[in-house]
Structure 1
Amino acid sequence: MSLLKVAFPSTVEGLTGELVPHFGHTPAFTILEYDEESKEVSNVEVLQNAPHQQGGCMQPVMFLKNAGVNSVVLGGIGQRPLMGFLQVGVEPYAGIQGTVKENFEAFVAEKLQKMAKASCNH
């Protein structure tokens, strides 16, 4: 059994919440733990994000890394936190407009692209 944790910057509703288009201003992170082989979700957790502060982009990156997250599906992100994810070994993926559930389904179906460059320029 190979468990993975995938985080989604989201509104606070969990699976029905929307993927937030700006990583640094997300109110929460929905984290899904699932078995890579069976594709079964074993846990859904919604964690509140700390308030966004100028220059504090690494705080949510380390928060997710310390929560055991392996991958993050993003609506949009600046260069500094994107590089932070790459440096700490969390795989960033470009999400689609829609709910966490829709993005998770696209992630599991391998329809999302890995992110190599920022989509926000703040």
Structure 2
Amino acid sequence: MKIAIPAEDKNIESNVSQTFGRTNYFIIYDMEAKQMETLDNSAIASQGGAGIKAAQLVLDNGVQVLIAPQCGQNAADVLAEGDIKIYASIEGTVKANIDAYTAGKLVIMNDIHAGYHGGK
């Protein structure tokens, strides 16, 4: 199973980006292979529809789970069409979020626009 997480930098110790559609990078982590890859987010420069384009990028890379602090409705609709589950991220690094997901500590994002910001 592959997990996508928007990231500020190109490594697993990067902080989770506070944006989805306009994040610089996505870390794609393969849970079975215990390997990660980094995707440059080509949607970042879009005049409009960045969330939809970012969602399509995630979908095109075989991801089954997205972990993010927030997600727009249009992007969430694209992800839902691809059967991608969206979990609310916790504050911290990509690695901390992968560990929290593995431990069953992340929650499904119910409020798509607001997301979850560590109870803030």
**TM norm structure 1:** 0.84
Question: Are residues 1:118 and 2:112 paired?
Answer: yes
Deviation at 1:32, TM superposition (A): 0.5
Secondary structure of 2:104's counterpart equals coil
What displacement does 1:57 show?
2.4
Provide the rounded CA distance (Å) in 1 between the counterparts of 2:87 and 2:45: 21
Any idea what SS the aligned residue of 1:57 has?
Answer: helix
Q: Deviations along 1:26-50, whole A, 9 cap, x unmatched?
A: 0000011012xxxxx5211011001
How do 1:1-40 and structure 2 match up within 5 A?
4-35=1-32
Q: Pairwise CA RMSD of aligned residues? A: 1.7
> Is the 8 Å Cα contact of residues 79 and 118 (structure 1) preserved in structure 2?
yes
Q: How many residues align?
A: 113
Structure 2: give runs of 5+ residues left out of the alignment.
115-120
Distance in 2, Cα, partners of 1:113 & 1:26: 21
- Residue 64 of structure 1, aligned match among 58, 65, 76: 58
The letter of the residue matching 2:35 is: N
Question: 5+ residue gaps in structure 1?
Answer: 36-40
Greater strand proportion: 1
Structure 1 residue aligned with 2:36, among 23, 29, 44? 44
Match of 2:82 in 1: 88
Please give the alpha-carbon distance, in whole angstroms, between the structure 1 residues aligned to 2:69 and 2:34.
24
Cα distance in 2 between the residues matched to 1:79 and 1:60 = 13
Misfit runs of 4+, over 2 Å: none
* Cα pair 1:71 1:93 within 8 Å, conserved: yes
